[in-house]
Chain A
Amino acid sequence: HRLRASGADWRPLCGGTHAALFLKVGEPAKNKQTNLEPHTRPYELQSKYFLSYHSSVADLTTVCVCVCVCVCGTRAKTHTLFLCPVHFPVGMFTPTGTCDIPRCSHFPTSFSLPRSLFSWKPKEPKPAAPSAPGWKLFGKIPLRDNPPKDSRTIQQEFEAKAGPVTGPHLQSQPVRRKNLEFEPLSTTALILENRPAHLPAKSEEEAQRHKQEYDEMVAGAKRRELKEAQKKKQQLKERYRQEESIATAMVIWNNEVLPNWESMRNTRRVKDLWWQGLPPSVRGKVWSLAIGNELNITPELYEIFLSRAKEKWRSFSETSSENETEASLADRESSLDLIKLDISRTFPSLYIFQKGGPYHDLLHSVLGAYTCYRPDVGYVQGMSFIAAVLILNLEEADAFIAFANLLNKPCQMAFFRVDHELMLKYFAAFEVFFDENLPRLFQHFQSNTLTPDLYLIDWIFTLYSKSLPLDVACRVWDVFCRDGEEALFRTGLGILRLYQDVLLQMDFIHIAQFLSRLPDNIPAHTLFNCIASTHMISSNRRWNQVFSALMKDGIKETDRNSSPALRS
């Protein structure tokens, strides 16, 4: 658990295993009970910053310790929160010792829940939380107890929830219903009325026809409503299925795979399980193991480089005013100002790496230590995203070890050293598979002179963490850890496949704009299907073979084949 209190505006409330929550100090929750005393006034967790992130941090074992700070700032109290695997922290708590997590469907909590004070998600029903004693406050929850209890709870709640959707729901929110459903219907029903007196009256036949039309309209509305309800039910079912599969997968990873890593990592079964996405609680562990530590970096070594970095910062800040113009731009850039600047621009919407956020210093440390560890590489834009994703999933020293080893991989080295020749080879190899998998789109891109560097550079430098939603990006990382660099280019082709139809309709600038800003709502499921149906085989050669064949080709070959945009 990490609790970092820093900054004036934001105070970290929760340091779960890999999660941090904030409370905006002094900002009371937007609830209806406005007359509470300052010390009992409930606060809101700033869950909006995490909603997009939930599935990659929270899981069944996420237990958070929250420090609640009162409006006046004089009193703080610690609370424990259990977080839902799917809805992460749609929760709030009060300084009086009660925590409420409005409807994280199946979360057994060991404390009593007060009447729901908040209406984060007013539509969601809130059945009484089943009490489940035996939950540990700190550390992992014993796995044996968990899944059976959970699935039962899920089942119960599913039934409780799925039932009301079709009918009884009406009673709970009559006003709302009226607005949404009856008003249009009552307007429709005007058709049944007689005409005003000054107009000729309806004939019997006409009235009959109107009645029939009306009935059809009502029937249509009912059908739509039913369909809607079924869809909701289906979604709910799907969600519970997912939750359950996360829980099951977690048990398998913890009990079977991790203890026998070397012998099991390459088995078919593990690889399949891996493809489904790593459960967030084992994600960091698996990434670490998969990335390895070829460089033999120890936590002590990290400390050494970190203190060296701190020394450098100190000496720089003391002399900066006089030496400003003398210091070479590149040198300065690689170490200090740019790191600082970029940290504030890394996942800005999460508000955890920015100044005052709990991971701000951490990100700074990891990047700073790296520039001391590898002064020949230094800091290169894009690194902050990689380090940030690792920090979200690993402890500080482990994050650094994974970071340094990850960047040491040939593909990452080529890119972060901005080795043009080598980058061109990667793009050329990518184009081979692009042509193989999506020949029509490839032709379209070629005729628009849209070269892969225009979009791949961003994707590869940040390992998709800038361009894809964070939870989707984490799954891409999962696959990258499983399959290596090939997975990065395969993901790129998956994205192109996903949007093939729209891209085929676009011209150069629109494609370029589209790919440099992908839609926010990329459906993970569909994307991974597209990645799965992308085959990394071209004329019987795999990625590695294609790539090394390109490497063997002389420099002349490169000149002829290079992407036009990169010829200079």
Chain B
Amino acid sequence: PKITYNFLFKFLVIGSAGTGKSCLLHQFIENKFKQDSNHTIGVEFGSRVVNVGGKTVKLQIWDTAGQERFRSVTRSYYRGAAGALLVYDITSRETYNALTNWLTDARTLASPNIVIILCGNKKDLDADREVTFLEASRFAQENELMFLETSALTGENVEEAFLKCARTILNKIESGELDPERMGSGIQYGDASLRQLRQPRGSAAQTKQQCNC
């Protein structure tokens, strides 16, 4: 039986190598920590249907490779993303310093209205912390990002990060700030209406009526 949903959002997980992007995704989807983790080469995928503010939203998550060298490849995956988790490792200042580059890429290559949540991962390793919560939250504020410290190991704030991002997108749709009809918004109407992302725009009004909002 197919799970129907009202919206489909394209999400990215970006950030430097070894910050725990794939582990965050795994924790979000499987509800457990990925022990024998490989490094991602190119891109990997995950998806999960979540309930946000009474709406069913399917998240289509693109988990990208972190190495600088792959950036020319991963950049091409940004197009049409509605949301992104920008991940750094609280125990590595280097990954924090790289945030500006990632952010520039995301803002220029994805949809201009992309909703980004900054995730300071490995919260469980507080003893090795190199980036304080305060510093990162200031950075988030300056760059208009949401911010959470997460732990893919314990699962703390992992679900919250994805949900918070999805909720913000939904709010923006409802307030009219985001137009799902616009090309490359990274948002599709759900399969409750059997409508596919890449179909022509024409059938939109019809779709809206059909979805069980």
- A residues near B, CB below 8 A? 324-325, 329-330, 332-334, 337-338, 341-342, 345-346, 348-349, 378, 380-382, 418, 420, 423, 449, 453-454, 457-458, 461-462, 466, 508-510, 512-513, 516-517, 565-568
Known: A568-B72, A568-B76. 14 other contacts (CB 8 A): A324-B94, A325-B94, A329-B68, A330-B68, A348-B36, A349-B36, A381-B41, A418-B69, A453-B73, A457-B43, A510-B47, A513-B45, A516-B44, A517-B44
In residues 44-84 of chain B, which contact A (Cβ within 8 Å)?
Answer: 44-47, 60, 65, 67-70, 72-73, 75-77, 79
Nearest B residue to A346 via CB reads: B38
Query: Is B37 interfacial (CB-CB < 8 Å)?
Result: yes
Chain B residues within CB distance 8 Å of chain A = 16-18, 35-39, 41-47, 60, 65, 67-70, 72-73, 75-77, 79, 93-94, 97-98, 109, 198
A565 interface neighbour in B16, B37, B76, B94, Cβ under 8 Å: B76
A334 CA to B68 CA in the complex, in Å? 9
Given known contacts A348-B36, A349-B36, A454 and B43 CB-to-CB distance under 8 angstroms: yes
- Min CB distance B196 to A, Å, is 8
Q: In the complex the two chains form, is B94's CB within 8 Å of A568's CB?
A: no
A228 to B86, CA, bound (A): 54
With A332-B94, A418-B70 in contact, is A449–B198 under 8 Å at CB? yes
- What CA separation (Å) do A329 and B94 show in the bound complex? 8
Chain A interface mostly: helix
Across-interface contacts of A466 in B (CB, < 8 A): 38, 41
A566 touches B73 (CB 8 A): yes
* A329-B94, A449-B198, A513-B46 known; A382 vs B72 contact (CB < 8 Å): no
Query: Are the CB atoms of B18 and A338 closer together than 8 Å?
Result: yes
Contact of A509 with B93 in the complex, beta carbons under 8 Å: no
Q: Which residues of the partner chain A approach B75 to less than 8 Å between Cβ atoms?
A: 568
- What are 26 residue pairs bridging A and B, where the CB atoms are less than 8 Å apart in the complex? A325-B94, A332-B94, A333-B67, A333-B68, A337-B18, A337-B94, A338-B18, A342-B17, A346-B38, A380-B69, A457-B41, A457-B42, A457-B73, A458-B44, A508-B60, A509-B45, A510-B47, A512-B45, A513-B46, A516-B43, A516-B44, A516-B45, A565-B76, A565-B77, A566-B73, A568-B109
Contact (Cβ within 8 A) B47 A513: yes
Q: Which residues of B contact A449 (CB under 8 A)?
A: 198
A381 to B40, CA, bound (A): 8
CA distance A330 to B66 in the complex (A): 12
**Contact yes or no, B72 A461, CB < 8 A:** no
Do B72 and A418 have beta carbons less than 8 Å apart? yes
Name the distance in Å between B91's Cβ and chain A's nearest Cβ: 12
Which residues on B sit within 8 Å (CB–CB) of A454? 42-43, 45
A345 CB to closest chain B CB (Å) equals 5
Residues of B within 8 A of A516 (CB): 43-45
**Shortest CB–CB separation between residue A561 and chain B, in angstroms?**
15
A346 to B37, CA, bound (A): 8
CB-CB nearest in chain B for A332: B94
Are B41 and A325 within 8 A (Cβ)? no
Is A461 touching B93 in the complex (CB atoms < 8 A)? no
